[in-house]
Amino acid sequence: MSHAPRSGDSPHVLLSETDIARALTRIGHEILERNKGAGDVVLLGIPRRGVPLARRLAERIAAVESSVPVGSLDVTMYRDDLRMRPARALERTDIPADGVDDKVVVVVDDVLYSGRTVRAALTALDDIGRPRAVQLAVLVDRGHRELPIRADYVGKNVPTSRAEAVRVQLRETDDVDEVVLVREER
Amino acid sequence: MQHLLTIADLDREEAVRILDTAEEMARLTDRAIKKLPTLRGRTVVNLFFEDSTRTRTSFELAAKRLSADVINFSAKGSSVSKGESLKDTALTLEAMGADAIVVRHSASGAPHRLAHAGWVSARIVNAGDGTHAHPTQALLDAFTMRRHLGDLAGRRVVIVGDVLHSRVARSNVELLSLLGAQVTLVGPPTLLPVGVESWPCQVSYELDPALAKADAVTMLRVQHERMAASFFPSAREYARRYGLDSGRLRLLPDHAIVLHPGPMNRGMEITADVADSDRSVIVEQVGNGVLVRMAVLYLLLGGSGAAEEDR
């Protein structure tokens, strides 16, 4: 699953390194503004790229106010398309020690598309505890929702066609910070 | 991975994938609600031609934790005791729509036959066949060792006792050597199988010298039914030469752990104080068995087909 644009694609840069940094700084502030501080906020990233994004958001929130717990939430076991693909390796689930009960959980992912991953995350949260509220932060919202789900914090809204793919690359996983739009060859 | 019949069917990557998946299962079930919805609507049949409450319960719990429907089909009191053949039992289970069949059989090769005879479309998991293989036991032993010792490459594991009749020992040797550990089998010559010198391990008749460098020791169960068959002179002599007591425990390095696949004969292959000591991970093995079996069932049934090669 390489995220490097293949030859033949015409990659169009949606977000550069600085764009990503600015978007995350803004989202960090929006989270604080909306929740009137960092008090009960818990950030849960969805593997893989939601996890480094959640960590970066936590750094920004800590820089302005106080540090917040960060964790990861693998939703593989809760997906509705498991039977349509071969069994996948599981990613790390790591819930902060204080749990999520009565907290404001901000689920963090790189791209919001059909909404099915978020639906799976909400179901997974059900089994972990009962947050006071759940909010959603994404770096890119590319539309084409298949479920009644929307993001509370969006880095960039990008109108896309289904024939295109949004490739998010992050330093932690891909050595570079960049979001590109590529045409998928089918 | 289509079926899990023996460790020999796995390559190193697949084995590590099962162990890593079990590690995630541990994180996912370490909370109040231990159930995951992943195998909802799937049917797992436990087909046990030999009694084994421990293994069957472990598989049953693993399947239930993944929300599969579980049917326990034991030979006693069923059509099998009326003389039904393996084939007809299999065809019955196929007609009932079993997605996976976990099979324990006294005949080596029965799970293989079930998997490849074309009777059923279900995934087959070997839960122990004759003296051949018991892959999930080997996986849970390796998982337990890995949790205490980290990467098993270069680690020394000593397996003691009745290797001849032990499918556990066979599967353990295969898996541990696949993971890069050095295995030493220890037992009386009468309880070591013919051809053991071709296994990927060392063999010794003396226990004490093997213990000094061991990172883990697995004590195999002495099967009472074999005692009459004069494989060794007396229970006392066996316990003295091959039993793990507190004196021998002191020969082990400080970090070494003691395993036993259960059920134990306290006072025979292991003394009560060793079994209850803080070096013993025997109770932990039971819990890890559920995690490893969850991982196996998930990887066999969780997707559309064989496990994804790489991603």
Q: B191-246: per-residue pLDDT in tens?
A: 999 999 999 999 999 999 999 999 999 999 988 776 666 788 888 889 999 999 99
Are B33 and A127 a contacting pair at CB < 8 A?
Answer: yes
B78-81 long-range contacts, CB within 8 A, separation 24+? B80/B49
| Domain annotation covers residue A35 | yes
Are A89 and B308 a contacting pair at CB < 8 A?
Answer: yes
Q: What is the pLDDT of residues B60-116, one digit of tens each?
A: 999 999 999 999 988 776 666 677 789 999 999 999 999 999 999 999 999 999 999
Instruction: Say if CB B101 and CB B124 are below 8 A apart.
Output: yes
Please report the pLDDT score of residue A18 as a whole number: 97
| Closest residue on chain A to B30 (Cα) | A128
Mark A92-125 as b/e (b = at least 16 C-beta within 10 Å).
bbbbeeebbeebbbbbbbbbbbbbbbbbbbbebb
State the average pLDDT over residues A151-178: 95
Where exactly are the structural domains of chain B?
7-133+287-301, 135-282
Please report the pLDDT score of residue B77 as a whole number: 66
Q: What is the pLDDT of residues A111-133, one digit of tens each?
A: 999 999 999 999 999 999 999 99
| Residue B262 to residue A87: CA distance in whole angstroms | 31
Q: Which two tokens stand for residue A117?
A: 């991953």
Is residue B165 predicted with pLDDT exceeding 60?
A: yes
**What total of structural domains would you count in chain A?**
1
- What is the reported pTM? 0.90
Where do we find the tokens 């003295």? B240
| Closest residue on chain B to A97 (Cα) | B31
Indicate the angle between helix axes B282-301 and B12-29, nearest 10 degrees.
110
As for the ipTM of the complex, it is 0.82
Please report the pLDDT score of residue B227 as a whole number: 64
Sequence-ordered list of residues with C-beta below 8 angstroms from that of B1, at least 6 positions apart, any chain: B9, B10, B14, B299, B300, B306, B307
State the average pLDDT over residues B135-155: 97
Fold equal for B7-133+287-301 and B135-282: yes
| Residue B176 to residue B207: CA distance in whole angstroms | 19
Nearest CA to A74 out of A54, A34, A55, A47 is that of A47
Question: Mean pLDDT, chain B, as a whole number?
Answer: 92
- Cβ within 8 Å of A, B 16-45: 17, 20-21, 24-25, 27-28, 31, 33, 35-38
pLDDT band at A10 (very low <50, low <70, confident <90, very high): low
Please report the pLDDT score of residue B204 as a whole number: 95
Please report the pLDDT score of residue B228 as a whole number: 65
Out of B25, B37, B308, name the one closest to residue A87 (CB): B308
Is residue A1 predicted with pLDDT exceeding 60?
A: no
Nearest CA to A181 out of A2, A3, A50 is that of A3
Cβ of B13 under 8 Å from any chain A Cβ? no
C-alpha dihedral, A22 to A24 to A27 to A28, nearest 10°: -110
Q: CA angle B208-B213-B219, nearest 5°?
A: 55
pLDDT band at A186 (very low <50, low <70, confident <90, very high): low
| Closest residue on chain B to A77 (Cα) | B38
Range of the domain at A61: 17-161
Q: Cis omega (within 30 of 0) on the bond before A34? A: no
Chain A contact set for B299 (CB, 8 A): 87
Out of B31, B37, B308, name the one closest to residue A88 (CB): B308
Q: What percent of chain B has pLDDT over 70?
A: 95
SS3 (DSSP) at B233: coil
| Topology given in CATH for the domain delimited by B135-282 | Rossmann fold (3.40.50)
| Domain annotation covers residue A43 | yes
User: Is the CATH number of domain B7-133+287-301 1.10.287.70?
Assistant: no
Q: Which two tokens stand for residue B141?
A: 């032993």
Best A2, A73, A74, A77 residue to mutate vs chain B (most B CBs within 10 Å): A77
CA distances, B202 to each of A29, B6, B92, B152 (Å): 63, 21, 44, 17
Q: How many CB atoms lie within 10 A of CB B158?
A: 25
| Domain annotation covers residue A170 | no
Which helix (H) or strand (E) is B145 found in, with range? helix B135-149
Please report the pLDDT score of residue B226 as a whole number: 65
Question: Mean pLDDT, chain A, as a whole number?
Answer: 92
Instruction: Say if CB B42 and CB B68 are below 8 A apart.
Output: yes
Are B304 and A94 a contacting pair at CB < 8 A?
Answer: no
Best B24, B34, B67, B294 residue to mutate vs chain A (most A CBs within 10 Å): B24
Please report the pLDDT score of residue B236 as a whole number: 87
Q: How many CB atoms lie within 10 A of CB B8?
A: 13
